[in-house]
A and B are shown apart, each in its own frame.
Chain A
Amino acid sequence: MADPLLEFFTVMDSQGGVVVKVECIDPPKFDLDLYLQNYRGRTRFDRLYLIGRSSVPLCVDALKAAILEAKRGRDPQRYREVVECLRIAAPHDSEATYDQTWLENTEVSNRNETHRLTLELKGYKNNLIKESVRMGNEDLGKHLESIGDLNGAAEAYSKMRPDVSTPKHIVDVGKHLVCVSLQRREWGMVTAHLNKMGGNQSPEDEKILQPYIKIVQGISYLGQERFLDAALSFLAADAAVPSASYNDVASQNDVAVYGGLLALASMDRKDLQTKVLDNSSFRQFLELEPHIRRAVTQFVNGRYSACIATLESYRPDYLLDIYLQRHIAKIYSEIRSKCIVQYLIPFSCVTLDTMNAAFGSPEKPIEEELVSMIRTGTLQARINTIDKLVTAVSVNPRQKLQTTALETARSYEKQAIDRLRRMALAAADLELKGQRKMTPHGMNVTSDLMYDDSALE
Chain B
Amino acid sequence: MDHCASVLLAFPEAKEITENYVYHKTAQQHVQKVERLIKENTATFSGLAAQLLEHVNPAINSISYLALLQTLLSRDKAPQTNQPLLSAITTFLMTFDPRQIRYVGTTLSNLLTTVGEGEIFPASVAVDLLATALLRIDPTGSMLTSHHISLVNLAYLTDNIEPIRPVIEKTIVFYPGIKSSSDGRYLCDMQLPPPAYITPDTGLTTKLNSSAVLQYDLLCGLCFIARSSWQKAFDALERVISYPTKDGVCSNIMAKAHNKWVLVGLLLTGKTPTVPALAWQGAQKIYGTLGKPYTSIGTAFEQETAETLKAEFETLGQQFWAEEGNLGLMRLVLAHYQRWKIVGLRDIYTKISLAQIRTITQSAETGTPLATEAEVLELVLGMIQDGMLNGVVEQPEGQPAYLTFLSPTEELSEAEFGAKMLQTAQRIKNLEPIVKATNERLGTSREYLRHLVRDSKNKDKDPGFVGFDHSIEDEDLMSGVLGP
- Chain A contacts to B: CB under 8 angstroms: 371, 374-375, 382-387, 389, 391, 396, 398-399, 402-403, 405-406, 409-410, 412-413, 416-418, 420-434, 448-452, 454-456
Q: How far is the CA of A441 from the CA of B391 in the complex (A)?
A: 67
Instruction: Tell me the smallest distance from the CB of A451 to a CB of chain B, in Å.
Output: 6
Q: Quick one: given A416-B428, A417-B171, A434-B246, are A403 and B350 in contact (CB under 8 Å)?
A: no
Q: Residues of B contacting A418 with CB < 8 Å? A: 242, 278
Which B residue sits closest to A429, measured CB to CB? B177
Indicate if B471 sits at the interface (CB-CB under 8 A). no
Q: Residues of B contacting A396 with CB < 8 Å? A: 411
Q: Residues of A contacting B409 with CB < 8 Å? A: 399, 403
Which A residue sits closest to B208, measured CB to CB? A430
- The answer to whether A412 and B428 have CB atoms under 8 Å apart is yes
Partner of B348, one of A374, A433, A454: A374
Q: Residues of B contacting A405 with CB < 8 Å? A: 417, 421
Which B residue sits closest to A435, measured CB to CB? B249
Indicate if B322 sits at the interface (CB-CB under 8 A). no
- The answer to whether B442 and A423 have CB atoms under 8 Å apart is yes
A-B contact pairs, 11 of them (CB 8 A): A375-B348, A409-B425, A409-B428, A420-B435, A422-B244, A424-B173, A432-B246, A434-B248, A449-B252, A451-B248, A452-B248
Partner of B176, one of A412, A423, A426, A428: A428
Partner of B282, one of A387, A412, A452: A452
B20-28, B33-41, B59-67, B209-217 - interface stretch: B209-217
Q: Residues of B contacting A398 with CB < 8 Å? A: 411
- The answer to whether A455 and B349 have CB atoms under 8 Å apart is no
Q: Quick one: given A399-B409, A418-B278, are A449 and B251 in contact (CB under 8 Å)?
A: yes
Q: How far is the CA of A427 from the CA of B242 in the complex (A)?
A: 17
- The answer to whether B249 and A402 have CB atoms under 8 Å apart is no
Q: How far is the CA of A403 from the CA of B417 in the complex (A)?
A: 9
Partner of A426, one of B213, B244, B420: B244
Partner of A387, one of B171, B214, B351, B434: B351
- The answer to whether B349 and A432 have CB atoms under 8 Å apart is no
Indicate if B356 sits at the interface (CB-CB under 8 A). yes
Indicate if B121 sits at the interface (CB-CB under 8 A). no
- The answer to whether A424 and B175 have CB atoms under 8 Å apart is yes
Instruction: Tell me the smallest distance from the CB of A110 to a CB of chain B, in Å.
Output: 52
Q: How far is the CA of A353 from the CA of B133 in the complex (A)?
A: 70
Q: How far is the CA of A410 from the CA of B427 in the complex (A)?
A: 10
Instruction: Tell me the smallest distance from the CB of A408 to a CB of chain B, in Å.
Output: 9
Q: How far is the CA of A427 from the CA of B193 in the complex (A)?
A: 15
Q: Residues of B contacting A434 with CB < 8 Å? A: 246-249
- The answer to whether B438 and A452 have CB atoms under 8 Å apart is no
- The answer to whether B421 and A421 have CB atoms under 8 Å apart is no
- The answer to whether B424 and A406 have CB atoms under 8 Å apart is yes
- The answer to whether A413 and B178 have CB atoms under 8 Å apart is no
Which A residue sits closest to B175, measured CB to CB? A428
Indicate if B352 sits at the interface (CB-CB under 8 A). yes
- The answer to whether B251 and A424 have CB atoms under 8 Å apart is no
Q: Which of B347-370 contact A (CB under 8 A)?
A: 347-353, 356
Q: Which of B161-212 contact A (CB under 8 A)?
A: 171-179, 208-211
Residue of A386, A417, A456 most packed against chain B (CB within 10 A): A386
Q: Which of B386-411 contact A (CB under 8 A)?
A: 402, 409, 411
Instruction: Tell me the smallest distance from the CB of B178 to a CB of chain A, in Å.
Output: 5
Q: Residues of B contacting A423 with CB < 8 Å? A: 438, 442
- The answer to whether A455 and B428 have CB atoms under 8 Å apart is no
- The answer to whether A452 and B424 have CB atoms under 8 Å apart is no
Indicate if B155 sits at the interface (CB-CB under 8 A). no
- The answer to whether B211 and A448 have CB atoms under 8 Å apart is yes
- Chain B contacts to A: CB under 8 angstroms: 171-179, 208-211, 213-214, 239, 242-255, 278, 282-283, 285-286, 347-353, 356, 402, 409, 411-412, 417, 420-421, 424-425, 427-428, 431, 434-435, 438, 441-442, 445
- The answer to whether A450 and B252 have CB atoms under 8 Å apart is yes
Instruction: Tell me the smallest distance from the CB of B80 to a CB of chain A, in Å.
Output: 34
Q: Quick one: given A374-B348, A387-B351, A430-B177, are A455 and B424 in contact (CB under 8 Å)?
A: no
Q: Residues of B contacting A430 with CB < 8 Å? A: 175, 177, 208-210, 213
- The answer to whether B244 and A432 have CB atoms under 8 Å apart is yes
- The answer to whether A386 and B353 have CB atoms under 8 Å apart is yes
Q: Residues of B contacting A399 with CB < 8 Å? A: 409, 411-412
- The answer to whether B285 and A452 have CB atoms under 8 Å apart is yes
- The answer to whether A431 and B175 have CB atoms under 8 Å apart is no
Q: How far is the CA of A192 from the CA of B246 in the complex (A)?
A: 43
Q: Residues of B contacting A420 with CB < 8 Å? A: 173, 431, 434-435, 438
Q: How far is the CA of A450 from the CA of B290 in the complex (A)?
A: 11
Q: Residues of B contacting A382 with CB < 8 Å? A: 347-350
- The answer to whether A451 and B412 have CB atoms under 8 Å apart is no
Q: Residues of A contacting B177 with CB < 8 Å? A: 428-430
Q: How far is the CA of A413 from the CA of B432 in the complex (A)?
A: 12
Other than the given A385-B351, A413-B424, A428-B175, 8 more pairs (CB < 8 A) read A387-B351, A399-B411, A428-B178, A432-B243, A452-B248, A452-B286, A454-B248, A455-B282
Q: How far is the CA of A398 from the CA of B246 in the complex (A)?
A: 45
- The answer to whether A383 and B173 have CB atoms under 8 Å apart is no
Instruction: Tell me the smallest distance from the CB of B433 to a CB of chain A, in Å.
Output: 11
Residue of A374, A403, A424 most packed against chain B (CB within 10 A): A424
- The answer to whether B210 and A432 have CB atoms under 8 Å apart is yes
Q: Residues of A contacting B351 with CB < 8 Å? A: 384-387
Partner of B249, one of A374, A387, A424, A452: A452
Q: How far is the CA of A427 from the CA of B199 in the complex (A)?
A: 14
- The answer to whether A371 and B348 have CB atoms under 8 Å apart is yes
Which B residue sits closest to A430, measured CB to CB? B210
- The answer to whether B248 and A384 have CB atoms under 8 Å apart is no
Q: How far is the CA of A386 from the CA of B434 in the complex (A)?
A: 56
Partner of A432, one of B174, B251, B421, B445: B251
- The answer to whether A425 and B175 have CB atoms under 8 Å apart is yes
Which 5 residue pairs across A and B have the least CB separation, nearest first? A455-B248, A428-B177, A434-B247, A409-B424, A432-B245
Q: Quick one: given A386-B351, A425-B175, are A433 and B246 in contact (CB under 8 Å)?
A: yes
Instruction: Tell me the smallest distance from the CB of A34 to a CB of chain B, in Å.
Output: 48
Q: Quick one: given A383-B349, A386-B351, are A449 and B278 in contact (CB under 8 Å)?
A: no
- The answer to whether B173 and A417 have CB atoms under 8 Å apart is yes
Q: Residues of A contacting B208 with CB < 8 Å? A: 428, 430
Q: How far is the CA of A389 from the CA of B402 in the complex (A)?
A: 15
Q: How far is the CA of A206 from the CA of B179 in the complex (A)?
A: 73
Q: How far is the CA of A432 from the CA of B246 in the complex (A)?
A: 6
Q: How far is the CA of A431 from the CA of B442 in the complex (A)?
A: 17
Q: How far is the CA of A374 from the CA of B352 in the complex (A)?
A: 15
Q: How far is the CA of A450 from the CA of B248 in the complex (A)?
A: 9
- The answer to whether A374 and B347 have CB atoms under 8 Å apart is yes
Q: Residues of A contacting B172 with CB < 8 Å? A: 421
Which B residue sits closest to A454, measured CB to CB? B282
Q: Residues of B contacting A456 with CB < 8 Å? A: 248
Q: Quick one: given A417-B173, A430-B213, A431-B210, are A385 and B248 in contact (CB under 8 Å)?
A: no
Which B residue sits closest to A379, measured CB to CB? B348
- The answer to whether A406 and B248 have CB atoms under 8 Å apart is no
Instruction: Tell me the smallest distance from the CB of B392 to a CB of chain A, in Å.
Output: 13
- The answer to whether B248 and A425 have CB atoms under 8 Å apart is no
- The answer to whether B178 and A427 have CB atoms under 8 Å apart is yes
Q: Quick one: given A418-B278, A420-B173, A452-B285, are A431 and B245 in contact (CB under 8 Å)?
A: yes
Which A residue sits closest to B445, measured CB to CB? A427
- The answer to whether A425 and B431 have CB atoms under 8 Å apart is no
Q: How far is the CA of A387 from the CA of B402 in the complex (A)?
A: 11
Q: Residues of A contacting B285 with CB < 8 Å? A: 452, 454
Instruction: Tell me the smallest distance from the CB of B435 to a CB of chain A, in Å.
Output: 7
Instruction: Tell me the smallest distance from the CB of B179 to a CB of chain A, in Å.
Output: 7
Q: Residues of B contacting A417 with CB < 8 Å? A: 171, 173, 431
Q: How far is the CA of A56 from the CA of B442 in the complex (A)?
A: 81
Q: Residues of A contacting B442 with CB < 8 Å? A: 423, 427
